[in-house]
Amino acid sequence: MYISDIVSAAIFPANADPRVAKLQGMGLFVIGYLARPIGGVLIGRYGDIKGRKPVLLLSIIVTACSLLAMAFLPTYAQWGLLRLPYLYC
């Protein structure tokens, strides 16, 4: 629960209801937990066809690329002009 507070504070607006911010932060973790079995089914099928070595390489590349993309994502405070005006209503 503690890490969801940190994640929601960095990604979502600070003026939101704390309960909603906590649900949004926990929702990000839920999406990650739901994506794992789906990826396992897809990559597992590919592993049955091509073998272990290509699947290991594919999973390492996908993980590295997604972590690199997350590292370069701006926080909510850094968005500047990209903030959507309807979020302030």
State the pTM of this model: 0.56
Which H, E and C letters describe 46-71, residue by residue?
HHHHHCHHHHHHHHHHHHHHHHHHHH
pLDDT tens, position by position, 1-16? 677 777 777 777 666 6
pLDDT tens, position by position, 59-75? 899 999 989 998 888 77
C-alpha count within 13 angstroms, C-beta hemisphere, residue 56: 3
Token pair belonging to 23: 């649900």
11 vs 64: CA distance, rounded Å: 21
